[in-house]
Structure 1
């Protein structure tokens, strides 16, 4: 992809992120990706940019792992483009059958994430995808789950990274973000 085409696609994605002040609490500016989903060209731009990155930097990826819930929006589209599978990391209690879980810290509480025991094979090369990286807790939990499954986590993909919160530094793998705020 030519640099000008890449820049145009990034600009299109950026234009379709809505800032929502004081949501979910006062003082937070929420990055709403819903306008991307509503505009087919913006959504295609996101998947094009992720696809280019994966093909160039992680050609041996075997699975895309989407994090509940917004990773489910981008992950299957990317996996389909790459011709590989997609699996889910969900909140505790949402997946049928045997699962592996991990507890992780939120700002004022804890949560649990889980994956089905047969979702990933030992040694499989995977990339984790989500919409946003803030403090890194959710992606860190997904990395831990995949480590328990003995998968090889190649990296994490996000549409938006909130750089000031330092989430990428807490992760054991590289992070590729389309936009940094």
Structure 2
């Protein structure tokens, strides 16, 4: 009889423990989702900061924002990917971080722009993974030069040739 009563208490205790674990996980999940969305927003904001600094030809601001982008992008963890997709995304992240770090230490605005061309191409490939919900993003292209960049507006502001071709470009994709 004692064993029977003990077994009942153990089962009840396990049920209560499972209920508490599920409740805790359910409470934590929305907070983690919120933090992940905030990091995605920060990454996109940093990228756009690099682009916008190049539009106004501010190499110091470009360098500072590229450093922030690299640091925040390094914190980002890819989720729900196959092994092959994870390997590709990890390789892309490493390359994108290296490009951002190179932009941060580039000796001239022209060098920053050349590096940004490469960064933008690689970033667009994984944009679905880092794009925050409810934030439309556009891949834009200067048809004369073939360079691309990402924008959060359809309005064209060419970061590569702002003096001569500020409005030269077109939206070629949308996410």
Name the TM-score class by shorter chain: under 0.3
TM-score normalized with structure 2 length: 0.27
Greater radius of gyration (CA) = 2
Instruction: Tell me: higher relative CO, structure 1 or 2? Use CA pairs within 8 A at least 6 residues apart.
Output: 2
Higher helix share: 2
Higher strand share: 1
